[in-house]
Structure 1
Amino acid sequence: MTDRAVADADRGNWVDRWAPLSWRPYARLARLDRPIGWWLLLWPCWWSAALAAVAAGAPYPNPWHLVLFLVGAIVMRGAGCTYNDVVDRDVDAQVTRTRSRPIPSGQVSAKRAFAFAVALSFVGLAVLLQFNLTTILVGAGSLVVVAAYPFAKRVTDWPQMVLGLAFSWGAFLGWTAVFGELALAPVALYLAAILWTIGYDTIYAHQDRRDDAIVGIRSTARLFGRYTKLSIGGLFVATVVALAVAFALVGAGWPAYVGLAAFAVHLAWQVITLDEDDPARCLMLFRSNRIAGWMPFLGLVADAGLRAAGVGG
């Protein structure tokens, strides 16, 4: 079997070094060599679980829910990316950054890749079935958006918004897993996560904007053009405002807002230091959102814990 690392994975990652040769194409399809994606899919889930803990007066988010969301994020990100690669295989072959992916580089066939995506989806279903009926039904609703995403870049300048609709769905699930119903707070959280996703994925899309223009792929990176920094800045400001609304709706205390303030500073740093013409810088800033996601989460966790101890609020 021909083995070829993908262009945008870190050199020397564990898949390239340790995974059996026959497993590597599938691990790369699932993006196990690039974990940032499942972190970004996970954060709305964990934010929601922590928000629900504050609203319910619990001392911390349900640990079992956090584990389930972690497993679910990893497998469903893998399933989604594999499905996306099957749909985009001809386009990926024309883009410098993506032509080394397993399907266009000939490491695995589209048919086998699709079967792999289905297998991962069944694992994700097994995870989802551990929750209450409301969470199962709400979680199943995300499949429509996930299925539509690969086609969005062909018909709209806002594929990042469609990605946001899919990647942010966990903002509902952490809440329904606790309360068995939806409320305004997780809706505000969902809006915040969508805006955040559009912002960070616009930064990511700047790596490909020249190739995308050649092959006719649309994106907010191309749409915003010279107004990119202003546009991302506006999206990030709106993200922080929506998160503040979600926090206020559950009566969050000062620890949550400290975490939110740290998050806002991190987002501002991304905008200020962004160089749209430097692909390496764009990738680094995009990946930094894994760290940024900890800030609201830990703020909410601290809030819940201090309240339970009779200190916060």
Structure 2
Amino acid sequence: MLRERLSLYLDLIRWDRPAGWLLLLWPTLSALWIAAEGFPGWHLLAVFTLGTILMRSAGCCVNDVADREFDRHVKRTAQRPVTRGAVSVKEALGLGAVLALLAFALVLTTNTVTIAWSFAALAISLAYPYAKRFVSMPQAVLGVAFSFGIPMAFAAVQSRVPLLAWVLLLGNLFWVLAYDTEYAMVDRDDDLKIGMKTSAITLGRADVAVIMLCYASYLAIWGAVLAGRVPAWILAVSLAAAGAQAAWHYGLIRTRERAGCFKAFRLNHWLGFAVFAGVAVGYTLR
């Protein structure tokens, strides 16, 4: 019985699908390197890496509870543990609370500014699952939630959140809009039937064009920030690698087929890694 429960809990937090927390991790680590102007130290690296994994896992618990009535009508999500009744709402929320508390314990090892901002990050994370009922572009809410590691990273390193952090957050928001709209395209038919609001539905036939514009905006903003902070040739290679992946994703999503859209979403973390690699190597070699 213990092994079965553990297996269900791991399924609930998507342990076998690390792409979700990698999408959160790369911009957060990039912000740490930028804020510290190089390697931020093992303590902050561990805090933000483990904290990202824990909070993404906690978010999955809350999201599945909030969406359980909708998920049963969507082919991709109908067999999630909470949706099919294998894990109770109380269990899922309890697990989510434990994971969030563990993440908060890590934040407590930083400073008061980071601790204060962690409450805002938690509030936005809790609001997102319900935004899909009221907001025509809930992916924008997710974009803020998934980017909040950036100001927290600056807070942890500099004990303040400068304008630079918010510029990076804005750029990252465009990336989240791009990949989560790809994700929403997978479920568009099912979401239309159940009345769910998503960017894929709101954008209609403009979805692919807007996704590509969001990719371009993300790379342009981050490229502008990094210009002069890392060697030009490293920045060029990093942005070229990320841009090539964005162009490949266009080929995957342009026909709007489920398989292609889901593949583009699932592999987006490599695009984020290309940017992080440019940041990390650039600050090492400058």
Return the alpha-carbon distance in structure 2 between the equivalents of residues 275 and 231 of structure 1.
12
Pair 1:65-2:18 in alignment: no
- Give secondary structure in 2 for the equivalent of 1:97: coil
* Residue number in structure 1 paired with 2:18: 35
Does the CA-based 8 Å contact 2:178-2:211 persist in structure 1?
A: yes
1:271 has 2:250 as partner: yes
Match of 1:26 in 2: 9
User: SS of 2:25's equivalent?
Assistant: helix
Decide whether the 8 Å contact of 2:174 with 2:218 is kept in 1.
yes
Q: What pairs up with 1:1-313 in 2 under 5 angstroms?
A: 20-54=3-37, 58=38, 60-248=39-227, 251-254=229-232, 255-307=234-286
Supply the AA of the counterpart residue of 2:66.
V
Partners in 1 of 2:246 and 2:42 — Cα distance? 28
CA contact (8 A) 2:55 2:99 kept: yes
SS at match of 2:91: helix
Gaps of 5+ in 2: none
State the number of aligned residues. 285
Amino acid at match of 1:24: S
Residues 171 and 193 in structure 1, CA contact (< 8 A), matched pair in contact too: no
1:184/1:291 Cα in 2 relative to 1: closer, same or farther (>3 Å)? same
Deviation at 1:192, TM superposition (A): 1.1
Q: Which amino acid aligns with 1:37?
A: G
| Deviation >3 Å, runs of 4+ | none
Pairwise CA RMSD: 1.6
Note the alpha carbon deviations across 1:32-72, whole angstroms, 9 max, x for none: 12111111111221110121233xxx4x2323222221111
Report the structure, 1 or 2, having the larger helix content. Answer: 2
Task: Note the alpha carbon deviations across 1:186-224, whole angstroms, 9 max, x for none.
Answer: 111101111100100000111110000000001111112
Between 273-282 and 161-170, the greater mean CA deviation after superposition: 273-282
Output the TM-score relative to the length of structure 1: 0.87
Partner of 1:14: none
Aligned 8 A contact 2:13 2:60 in 1: yes
2: distance between equivalents of 1:178 and 1:263?
Answer: 27
TM-score of the two chains, using structure 2 as the length reference: 0.94
Structure 1 residue runs without a partner (length 5+): 2-18, 308-313
Contact 1:203–1:276, Cα closer than 8 Å, also in 2: no
Q: Deviations over 1:61-109 (max 9, x none)?
A: 3232222211111110111110111111111111111110001212111
**Offset of 1:158 from its aligned partner?**
0.4
